[in-house]
Amino acid sequence: MSKYDIIVLGSGPGGYVTAIRASQLGFKTAIIEKENLGGICLNWGCIPTKALLKSAQVFEYLKHAGDYGLTVKDFDKDFDAVIKRSRGVADGMSKGIEFLMKKNKIDVINGFGKLKPGKKVDVDGTEYSADNIIIATGARSRELPSLPQDGKKVIGYREAMSLPKQPKKMIVVGSGAIGVEFAYFYNSMGTEVTVVEYLPNVVPVEDEEVSKQLERSFKKSGIKIMTSAEVTSVDTSGKGVKATVKTKKGEEVLEADIILSAVGIKSNIENIGLEDVGIVIDRDKIIVNDFYQTNIPGYYAIGDVTPGQALAHVASAEGILCVEKLAGQHVEALDYGNIPGCTYCSPEIASVGLTEKQAKEKGLDIKVGKFPFSASGKASAGGNKDGFVKVIFDAKYGEWLGCHMIGAGVTDMIAEAVLGRKLETTGHEVLKAVHPHPTMSEAVMEAVADAYDEVIHL
């Protein structure tokens, strides 16, 4: 039986990062993966979707070339080529993880791993043991009883990335990050898209003003939005699919070629031996302490199988903290109140901290500032004037409580707010930090100036 210091079960952005950091810290490390290195994120999630969205963005630019004084003739999309490019990007990234495993001398064990008592893992009949086992098995598309996925007419995000033929009509159920990103992609490619959201606002975890702006932008681009709506049943017996949607006005039947179910994720905790070991779970999540120890010594869990935010960067951060703690380093518990969220539709969305509503519900006295990209020179020059930056500060102490952005490239801007909040920056310090002009990022400074009644360009 092979013996290791650390075995990591799952090689997504939580698992492979954990394994690399463990190896860097001197631990003899192995990683177990049943499919492709990189997990869902690199193969069927974060990375290939961004490749699809880039193709959509380029296609949008071509359609609006005249707005930039350019004449482009005889252009069209090749849906198969777009999908092929996305898969090629994913394959390249997965091969990159293979290289990193070899570079860091991490043993890769291919197969389905099942936990055993006594700090062991069975992989398709072969047992391995370790002083510490870290569970990083991730999640998959969640299925609703009223919306069973058949992989053909009712699909999840995985199938949405590799359809053999572009649908003429698509219904997207759920308007979280996955739903709105695919809604934007398929709409840009020419598919007629309807988004059905159960809650009153699209992207419901975001600040309400951000939600309303995205709804306006989507409607302007031709996407139909149905909020406070629920798909109660689907009929796949005909050529396409029919969805019965319950709204405040009554029931409506929508017809489409395909329904994309984007109603959340389900943790991959079945059949991996949790019950055999005695690891406690609650509502689909493995219960862990601040440094990811389960109730059974020597067994840890990180990423989407634990109660924190189901985001790739969260899983990576958790894994690094977990093994650094095991190595005896002094580490601080992760601040889950300062985790950025990013959505890569167009316009992009990025946020961190409290929304205005949440701050008010806490009874805080706040200052709110907002700067529209319509007043930004860089946004005007780039032809991307939709959206804004919104900031929320504590009125008494100047603490940066939240930052919410919607617009072109904002997912690359949110880190300023994350770092500022980590360093306990005040509003006046942000305001006095000179921001370059012309940039999209100076909208952060302008929004802060608006909060303190010092805005210049509005």
CA–CA dist 197, 165 (Å, integer):
25
The pair of three-digit structure tokens given for residue 300, joined into one six-digit string: 């840890």
CB 379 within 8 A of CB 365: no
CA–CA dist 149, 164 (Å, integer):
17
C-alpha distance from residue 274 to each of 39, 181, 237, 269 (Å): 20, 34, 39, 7
CA–CA dist 414, 417 (Å, integer):
6
CA–CA dist 171, 193 (Å, integer):
6
Q: What angle do CA 138, 143, 144 make, to 5 degrees?
A: 140
Task: Give residue for tokens 């702006």.
Answer: 213
Phi-psi region of 4 (alpha: psi -120 to 50; beta: other; left: phi over 0): beta
Q: Which residues contact 54 (CB under 8 A, 6 or more apart)?
A: none
**In what helix (H) or strand (E) does residue 231 lie, and over which residues does it extend?**
strand 230-235
Q: Which residues contact 248 (CB under 8 A, 6 or more apart)?
A: 228
Task: Give residue for tokens 């990013």.
Answer: 342
Identify any residues that bridge with 113 across adjacent strands, giving them in sequence order. Answer: 123
Q: Which residues contact 320 (CB under 8 A, 6 or more apart)?
A: 17, 18, 21
Angle, helices 312-326 vs 15-24, to 10°: value is 30
Residue 406 neighbours by CB distance under 10 Å: 28
Which residue in 411, 409, 408, 431 sits closest to 420, CA to CA?
431
Determine which one of 64, 428, 437, 457 is catalytic: 437
Active site residue 437: yes
28, exposed or middle or buried, with CB in 10 Å at 0-12, 13-18, 19+?
middle
**Active-site residues: which are they?**
437
